[in-house]
Structure 1
Amino acid sequence: MIDWKTLPLFIASILYILLAVRLMRLRYAQLDDEHTSGHLIGLFVVLATLLADEFFVQNRLLTEGQGYWALLITSLNLVLGPLTYLYASALCKRFSWSKVVLHLSPIMMFFILSICAQKIYPELQQNRLFLTFFSLLFLGSLLPYLMFTFALLKEYLDSIKAHFSNVQRHDVSWFKWWLYLITAMAILVCTSPFMPQLFWLDTHWLLFIFALLLSTKVDFIAPSAIAPLDTQVTVEKEALKGIEKVFTKIDSEVKKQKLYLRNGLTLNELANACVMTTHEVSQAINLIYHSNFYDYMNNLRVEESKRLLLRTPAQQVTTIAYESGFNSKSCFYNIFKQRVGCTPTEYRKKSVLN
């Protein structure tokens, strides 16, 4: 008899498999980066396996803590941190097979040694010392990877703003939530021996909620990898004058051709329009404008939208958003409010009153 309360575990397992299949199809169609989607597919398959195992164990369709399968499940828990880190590394174009081997081979060794130990001591998985050792090992395999991954994610977010004027195609907000979730998992593992009242907050349910939310994200894909631009260099005063001339030329060309009205404009396209290298353009924007390509373009779009809001008071705000170079109403509202301090509609009303 299956306990209906465990069905979310089975549903979550199916959802992770479907997400993995979606990424595999995109990868086959060459719409996704090979290495970033590969790590993500592996992560989703591991999560699906862990949740399916928990469903079978809770319904006594599998015996808990017995045999090689149980050791494999124990070992798979240790893969979550490395796979998360490897995915973030691939996003920043730091993929290498040697890195994959370096981070995953210790887990393989743990699995092999666990099998050998169980042959000698059959009750290994019920041993309190082994369970305590595994809990510490789980934290040791998770916390350092979390710290490195947060650093890589910041680097990636900086990189996409250096390359693109619209970043929705490279949205990784879901990945932030994944990092928060496994941070919560680590906290639960640490505190559960001392705070038994938290026992009801099962980490498997957190994984179910995450699968549910990610599955409803219809445009979910693994973003393309982007190498960071090295523009943080020391520039002498004389050289800075030359960079100022470069930025003046860029700014003049952008405003003359109104390049900011192209909602998908990239750094590479701007460099081609100015007959420069991407490094020259990015360096000039960083050192002279004191910001990145993303902010530079969107500040110009906000100024254009402000002019249109006043010039065409009967025009719908959504129409103005697209005419100003933004690719969505929500993106326009968020950026406009950040820059101006009020919504486009409020800005138009205030200007009319004044």
Structure 2
Amino acid sequence: MNIQNQILFFLSALGVFNSLVLGFYFLFLKRNKVVSDLFLGLLLLSLSTRIGKSIFYNFNPQLSKTYLQIGLSACVLIGPILYFFVKSILQKLNYSFAKYSLIFIVIAVTVFGFLFPYKYNSEVWRGIIYYAITIQWFIFIVLSIYEARQVFRKLVTNRHQISYEETWILSIICGVFAIWLSYSLSRYTSYISGALTFSFSFYISFMLIYYAKNKTLNPVINKEKYINKIDEKLVKEIQEKINILFETRKIYTNPDLTLSILAKELNIRPQLLSQLINDNLNKSFTQFINEYRIDEAKRLLKESPQLKIDAVGFESGFNSSSTFYSSFRKITGTTPSNYQKHNFYS
């Protein structure tokens, strides 16, 4: 293998190796796993299997037909797993349906591969089966985009408000689409282009996600430069109105609550509420609301032990499990499950 091929092999295989490591991490090693982590782990392993087959076949055309069959078989799972991953983050997933659907696909692909192995039916696998898998993959990409249409709309209209979880959705969908497109156009470019696209998409995606995570966990509060301080009497009046509103209606459990909505409920200007929270309480609006949500979650963990941890997060107003876990740990210093164990009998 000459130096050019060695570099090409290294670049294409690097993404696969790291994807395998992350796939195992999300499936087996990550603490406080949520459902989306399981689907992300499966997606990374499926992609790694498919891309790995392409890399080895490109540099070793005599590769066993069994490996070629495994690579194409894994490709059948990529689309459905992507779709279920997106729905799990958006809290629209029927976990039982997703689980049994994937089990059915695995069994069906295994049985078909046993009855019609690639070794003896290579023309069929390279022809109609390959095109069927490609079409199926694309259909699930379209379905995933449809499920995440609000996130893509936000990307166009208000990208600065895209959350950490929404960054995951955008990055993963766009990365998988880029890989699909590379394979679809490989006959006009190069067979290894899919593997290279995977490596670059992998690193770009996780760079974006890392940036979004740091932005979420270490927010830089760009406070407005208020010229006039709010009168202390008015501050107390507004705080009293907030306490009454939160105690009687618990509107902080609304996951779509915004500063404008809260200001309207309080019958004050949004600018005034923003100044009070930022200037007088020295908090961001998200931090301010999340503290109430965590108090509600703590109450539910102690008083309603029959609720699942994820359900507690949703009942408290969080729109995703990952946001709930990270906010709970940040505010309380422990996890929801540990808090429940130590406080249930207190």
Same fold by TM (over 0.5)? yes
Cα deviations by residue, 1:179-216 (Å, 9 ceiling, x for unpaired)? 223334444555555xx2x4478122111012212444
Aligned match of 2:173 in 161, 173, 179? 179
Query: Residue in 2 aligned with 1:351?
Result: none
Within 1, Cα distance between the matches of 2:280 and 2:9? 47
Amino acid at match of 2:121: L
Within 1, Cα distance between the matches of 2:70 and 2:244? 51
Answering whether residue 147 of structure 2 is matched by residue 152 of structure 1, we say yes
What SS does the aligned partner of 1:63 have? Answer: coil
Within 2, Cα distance between the matches of 1:137 and 1:57? 21
Query: Residue in 1 aligned with 2:108?
Result: 109
Within 1, Cα distance between the matches of 2:37 and 2:236? 35
1:22 offset after TM fit, Å?
Answer: 4.3
Shift in CA distance, 156/132, structure 1 to aligned 2, threshold 3 Å: same
Amino acid at match of 1:54: S
Structure 2: which 5+ residue stretches go unaligned? 154-160, 214-233, 288-346
Contact 1:20/1:45, CA 8 A, preserved across alignment: yes
Superposition map of 1:1-354 within 5 A: 1=1, 3-24=6-27, 27=30, 29-30=31-32, 32-33=33-34, 35-60=35-60, 63-64=62-63, 66-91=64-89, 92-118=91-117, 122-125=119-122, 127=123, 129-154=124-149, 168=163, 170-191=164-185, 196=188, 198-199=189-190, 202-216=193-207, 217-218=209-210, 256-257=238-239, 273-276=246-249, 282=254, 292-294=256-258, 296=260, 303-304=271-272, 323=282, 325=284
TM-score by length of 1: 0.56
Within 1, Cα distance between the matches of 2:177 and 2:280? 38
Within 1, Cα distance between the matches of 2:106 and 2:178? 22
1:81 offset after TM fit, Å?
Answer: 0.3
1:10 offset after TM fit, Å?
Answer: 1.8
Contact 1:15/1:215, CA 8 A, preserved across alignment: no
Within 2, Cα distance between the matches of 1:327 and 1:257? 16
Within 1, Cα distance between the matches of 2:244 and 2:165? 24
Within 1, Cα distance between the matches of 2:133 and 2:206? 27
1:278 offset after TM fit, Å?
Answer: 5.0
1:6 offset after TM fit, Å?
Answer: 1.0
Q: Provide the aligned C-alpha RMSD in A.
A: 4.4
1:294 offset after TM fit, Å?
Answer: 3.1
Cα deviations by residue, 1:79-122 (Å, 9 ceiling, x for unpaired)? 1101001112222242323332224523532342233223xx84
Amino acid at match of 1:325: S
TM-score by length of 2: 0.57
Q: Which has the higher contact order (CA 8 A, sep 6+)?
A: 1
What SS does the aligned partner of 1:106 have? Answer: helix
Query: Residue in 2 aligned with 1:332?
Result: none
Contact 1:12/1:208, CA 8 A, preserved across alignment: yes
Between the two proteins, the alignment pairs up a number of residues equal to 250
Within 1, Cα distance between the matches of 2:75 and 2:81? 11
Cα deviations by residue, 1:235-288 (Å, 9 ceiling, x for unpaired)? xxxxxxxxxxxxxxxxx999812999xxxxxxxxx9982422559x75xx9xxx
Q: Percent identity?
A: 8
Shift in CA distance, 143/254, structure 1 to aligned 2, threshold 3 Å: farther
Amino acid at match of 2:170: K
